């Protein structure tokens, strides 16, 4: 069963979504796809974001669209790649802005695991993809599940900062209680749009300012340690 890889704390928060007909159909779809084609990420990496960032620890939610579709790239964390894998263009732009914003030099690895371990939920709206076919698993039920994730995080009593890059992510703003939490919207870091507002937007320092304004500790964005 697809949901078997999800940690127990998240299963409790997402019970209604996991019991829904939409999720049951999604389980059948992903199982059929794994038999028919190469699907990323690997099954053991599917729920990495949830294992690395327990529900109780979430203080930032960074929303991506769907996984990288090249071999060895996707490992269950939005925008991140496995250690030793070259950083895709969007991630390169994230690192450029990270250096400009908080002075963190470009790391040797594209893995964002250190962020996830600090409570940054690196969530893609769609969690699987066919090799070399971006958005191939969009519209098959993942969006219902990840919308439920966003709602569950929005239901937390502790303030969370939601970082929404690009129009796709910003459509999810309606799922968030903006009175309790902080929503930071910005341009997507892809090469098509980074020069139109992502560079110079200082998202990392803005997130930390928002966290501190809510009495929560800032994120240590360093990856080169």
pLDDT tens for the 225 residues of the chain, in order: 898 999 999 999 999 999 999 999 999 999 999 999 999 999 999 999 999 999 999 999 999 999 999 999 999 999 999 988 999 999 999 999 999 999 999 998 999 999 999 999 999 999 999 999 999 999 999 999 999 999 999 999 999 999 999 999 999 999 999 999 999 999 999 999 999 999 999 999 999 999 999 999 999 999 976
In the chain, helix, strand, coil percent, each to 5?
A: 45, 10, 45
Which of 106, 127, 201, 133 has the alpha carbon at shortest distance from 163?
Answer: 201
Task: Please report the pLDDT score of residue 61 as a whole number.
Answer: 98
| CATH architecture of the domain with residue range 2-211 | 3-Layer(aba) Sandwich (3.40)
107 CB-near residues (< 8 Å, 6+ apart): 95, 223, 224
Task: Please report the pLDDT score of residue 224 as a whole number.
Answer: 73
Return phi, psi of residue 78, to 5°.
-55, 135
What pTM was computed for the model?
0.98
Task: Please report the pLDDT score of residue 44 as a whole number.
Answer: 96
Question: Within 10 A of 13 (CB to CB), how many other CB atoms are there?
Answer: 21
Question: Within 10 A of 217 (CB to CB), how many other CB atoms are there?
Answer: 11
Annotated catalytic residue: which of 57, 66, 147, 158? 66
The full set of domain ranges for the chain reads 2-211
Task: Please report the pLDDT score of residue 1 as a whole number.
Answer: 86
Four-residue CA torsion sign, 152, 48, 75, 60? positive
Task: Please report the pLDDT score of residue 111 as a whole number.
Answer: 97
Please tell me the distance from the alpha carbon of residue 27 to that of residue 46, in angstroms, as a whole number. Answer: 13
Task: Please report the pLDDT score of residue 17 as a whole number.
Answer: 98
Task: Please report the pLDDT score of residue 225 as a whole number.
Answer: 61
User: Has 220 been annotated as catalytic?
Assistant: no
């Amino acid at each position: 069963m697809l949901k078997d890889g999800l940690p127990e704390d998240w299963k409790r928060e997402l019970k209604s979504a996991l019991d829904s007909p939409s999720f049951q159909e999604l389980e059948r779809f992903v199982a059929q796809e794994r038999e028919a084609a190469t699907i990323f990420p690997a099954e053991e990496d599917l729920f990495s974001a949830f294992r690395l960032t327990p529900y109780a620890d979430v203080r930032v939610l960074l929303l991506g669209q769907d996984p990288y579709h090249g071999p060895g790239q996707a490992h269950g964390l939005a925008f991140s790649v496995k250690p030793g894998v070259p950083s895709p263009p969007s991630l390169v732009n994230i690192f450029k802005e990270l250096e400009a914003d908080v002075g963190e030099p470009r790391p040797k690895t594209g893995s964002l695991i250190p962020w996830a371990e600090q409570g940054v939920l690196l969530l893609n709206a769609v969690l699987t993809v066919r090799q070399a076919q971006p958005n191939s698993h969009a519209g098959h039920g993942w969006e219902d599940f990840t919308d439920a994730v966003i709602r569950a995080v929005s239901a937390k009593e502790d303030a969370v900062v939601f970082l929404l890059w690009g129009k796709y992510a910003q459509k999810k703003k309606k799922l968030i209680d903006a009175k309790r939490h902080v929503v930071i919207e910005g341009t997507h870091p892809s090469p098509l749009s980074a020069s139109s507002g992502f560079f110079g937007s200082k998202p990392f320092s803005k997130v930390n300012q928002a966290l501190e304004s809510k009495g929560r500790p800032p994120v240590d964005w360093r990856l080169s340690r």
